[in-house]
Amino acid sequence: MTLKSRVKGWLYKAANAMTLTVTGVSLTDLRLGAFLAGGPTYSGKLVTVDTAMQLDTVWACSRLISDTIAAMPLKLYQRQPDDTSLLARDHPLYRILYVAPNADMTAMEFWSAMVSCLMLWGNAFAQVVRRGDGAVIALNPLRPDRMTVRRDAGTGALTYTYSYQGQQLVLAENQIFHIKGYCTDGMMGISPISAGRQQLGSAMAAEETAARMFANGMLSQTYIKSPDWVPDEMLGRAKEILKDYSGAVNAGKTPLLEGGWTVESIGMNPEDMQLLQTRGFNVETICRWYGVAPVMIGRMEKSTAWGSGLEQMNLWFLTYTLQPWLVRIEQAISRCLLSATEKAQYFAKHNVDALLRADSQARAQLEATQVQNGIKTRNEVREKEGLPPLPGGDMLTVQAQMIPLTDVGVVAVQPAVKPVNGPALPAPKPQQSGTLGDPDE
């Protein structure tokens, strides 16, 4: 073995160890391409999860979806024989989903982290810790970029290998809680960062261009023209003079030009480059990858989020953005965390009413309609509002004036009135002639 090959092998091992320690992905791992976001971009920018999160639009969209879903109460329900459902408070999984999935995280923190992984990598993983009887006692989140999923050719079972700090943890299917995003093979979700790397790279290039123009004092499209060649002994002094007028802190200063030097323009100015329009268009483009209306992350240029439009915006956001993710999470809970017999009896469901809690008028109208039409009892509504139950509030009621169409115009028949039993009244005495009231008087 030559010295060159030995050095090459040493460098390879060192780089491989460094990559494995920092990212959990080795140089021989097929996931390295996914970690690097699938390859280069037309803009020349390397798009990864860490670099993409530096874009405010990616941060705002992922945070909005993850925190909104995490703030929705997720509870376990039990089906009843009469097709109704009750809260399964006695089931061990109820506390895991609603209170604390593990000893280090609250439910809000856990679900926010899981949905954030879906927004960035397209997958969310958690290690399932079970006790002796198979009941789930903890869920520990795992980074998707450190996970490898393989299917055994012989048994068809999936094997999950988690790499972290030079060590590997091999987990079976019943030890993994896996939520998949939009996918084409049914095994792994597609990362929005990887799929949208071209648009993200363009947004990064636009942000860098704007930042460098500010750093250079908005003079990046100008240059100083010398009337003759600058001698070597004068070149250093000329650079020192120009340094006093460069940078954002020196923007607006008027340079002093000597010896016939002039200021010339080259290229295009920021207005001709439509730099501001490009940055605004990048916001809308990235929002399309996440299915978020730009107005919901603060882009208020052509829309509003006040008045009656807020309620409709929340409904649109719930229907077209959040609902698919909510269904994915609920079905993944049933697939990974419930046994075969429990799947027919228990199910997890988010309380989407929490999204409309900020609109008190809409909430009051919804609750009044549910009570008046016998959908919910008054005590159920009071419990949702944090109020104590009232006597007689557990009865379903409907409006009395609602009658069948066939009875319209029919006079209601009153029940026959029966006399009240009591002492017999004496018969009236006949009037005597000549007395008061006699007509002949």
pLDDT tens-digit readout, 244-290: 655 544 455 666 666 667 766 655 555 545 566 677 778 889 999 99
The DSSP-derived string for 180-217 is E-S-SSSSSPPPHHHHTHHHHHHHHHHHHHHHHHHHTT
Quote the mean pLDDT of the chain: 78
Q: Measured between alpha carbons, how far is 167 from 24 in angstroms, rounded to an integer? A: 9
What secondary structure letter does DSSP report for 151? E
Ordered alpha helix ranges (H), 24-106 = 32-35, 49-52, 56-71, 92-98
**pLDDT higher than threshold 60 for residue 39:** no
- Contact assessment for residue 34 and residue 188, using Cβ atoms and an 8 Å cutoff: no
pLDDT top residue among 221 and 149 = 149
Local confidence band at 34 (pLDDT 50, 70, 90 cut-offs): very low
Angle, helix 107-121 to helix 56-71, in steps of 10 degrees: 140
pLDDT tens-digit readout, 352-406: 876 766 566 767 887 888 888 888 899 888 887 768 888 988 888 887 666 665 6
**pLDDT higher than threshold 50 for residue 435:** no
pLDDT top residue among 347 and 269 = 347
pLDDT tens-digit readout, 74-93: 999 999 988 888 999 999 99
pLDDT tens-digit readout, 183-214: 998 889 999 999 999 989 888 888 887 777 66
**pLDDT higher than threshold 70 for residue 315:** yes
Amino acid of residue 423: P
User: Which pTM does this prediction carry?
Assistant: 0.70
Q: Residue 360: its pLDDT value, please?
A: 67
Exposed (0-12), middle (13-18) or buried (19+): which is 37, by Cβ within 10 Å?
A: buried
